[in-house]
Amino acid sequence: MTDRTDHNTGALEAGAVWRVRQVVRRALRELGVKLWSSFWLIVIVAVIMAALVALGDLPVRLGLAAFAAFVASTALLPRQEVDLAEDAEFRPSPTTSRIRAPSHAITDALPDPVILLNRTGQVLTYNVPARGLFSSLRKGSHISSVIRAPEFLDAVSTAPKVGRAVSVIYAERVPVGRHLEVTVAPLMRGAEPDGTILVLLRDFTEGERINQMRADFIANASHELRTPLASLRGFIETLQGTAKEDPAARERFLPIMAEQATRMTRLIDALLSLSRLEMNAHVPPSELVDLNDVLGHARDTLEPLAADSQTTLEVERCAKPAIVHGDRDELLQVLQNLVQNALKYGRSGGKVRIEAKHIPSLTRQTGGRYAISVVDDGPGISAEHLPRLTERFYRVDVDSSREMGGTGLGLAIVKHILNRHRGELAIASEPGEGSTFTIMLNESQSAASGTALSTAR
Q: Which of 426, 456, 244 is nearest to 338 (CA)?
A: 426
Pairwise CA distance, residues 379 & 345, whole Å: 8
**Inter-residue contact 263 to 401 (CB < 8 Å):** no
- Distances in Å between the Cα of 13 and the Cα atoms of 10, 18, 19 are 5, 9, 10
CATH 3.40.50.300 given to domain 94-203? no
Question: Fold match between 94-203 and 288-449?
Answer: no
* 120 exposure class (CB count in 10 Å sphere: 0-12, 13-18, 19+): exposed
- Distances in Å between the Cα of 365 and the Cα atoms of 272, 360, 368 are 39, 12, 10
Q: How does pLDDT run across 303-335, given as a tens digit for each residue?
A: 888 888 888 888 888 888 889 988 898 899 899
pLDDT of residue 40: 67
Pairwise CA distance, residues 382 & 379, whole Å: 10
Q: Indicate the helix (H) or strand (E) that contains 196.
A: strand 192-203
pLDDT of residue 68: 77
Average pLDDT over residues 194-221: 76
pTM above 0.75, yes or no: no
Q: pLDDT tier at 288 (50, 70, 90 boundaries)?
A: very high
Q: pLDDT tier at 102 (50, 70, 90 boundaries)?
A: low
For residues 205, 206, 212 and 213, what is the CA-based torsion angle, rounded to 10 degrees? Answer: 150
Q: pLDDT tier at 5 (50, 70, 90 boundaries)?
A: very low
Q: pLDDT: is 218 or 127 the higher one?
A: 127
Pairwise CA distance, residues 132 & 170, whole Å: 18
pLDDT of residue 92: 47
DSSP state of 124: E
Q: pLDDT: is 33 or 68 the higher one?
A: 68
pLDDT of residue 452: 42
Average pLDDT over residues 13-22: 64
CATH 1.10.287.130 given to domain 207-279? yes
Instruction: Give me the chain's average pLDDT, please.
Output: 77
pLDDT of residue 438: 93
pLDDT of residue 75: 65
Q: Which of 280, 362, 326, 328 is nearest to 441 (CA)?
A: 326
Pairwise CA distance, residues 376 & 437, whole Å: 9
Q: pLDDT: is 64 or 92 the higher one?
A: 64
pLDDT higher than threshold 60 for residue 80:
no
pLDDT higher than threshold 80 for residue 412:
yes
Pairwise CA distance, residues 230 & 251, whole Å: 19
pLDDT of residue 354: 92
Q: pLDDT tier at 448 (50, 70, 90 boundaries)?
A: very low
Q: pLDDT: is 401 or 342 the higher one?
A: 342
Buried b (16+ CB within 10 A) or exposed e, 229-250: eebbeebeeebeeebeeeeeee
**Inter-residue contact 457 to 301 (CB < 8 Å):** no
Q: For the chain, give the number of residues.
A: 457
Q: Where are the domains of the chain?
A: 2-88, 94-203, 207-279, 288-449
Beta-carbon contacts of residue 195 (< 8 Å; ≥ 6 apart): 95, 118, 119, 160
Pairwise CA distance, residues 346 & 393, whole Å: 20
Q: pLDDT tier at 343 (50, 70, 90 boundaries)?
A: confident
pLDDT higher than threshold 80 for residue 62:
no
For 123, phi and psi rounded to 5 degrees?
Answer: -75, 125
The listed range with the strongest mean pLDDT (11-15, 271-275, 438-442) is 438-442
CATH second-level architecture of 288-449? 2-Layer Sandwich (3.30)
Crossing angle (nearest 10°) for helices 39-55 and 60-76: 170
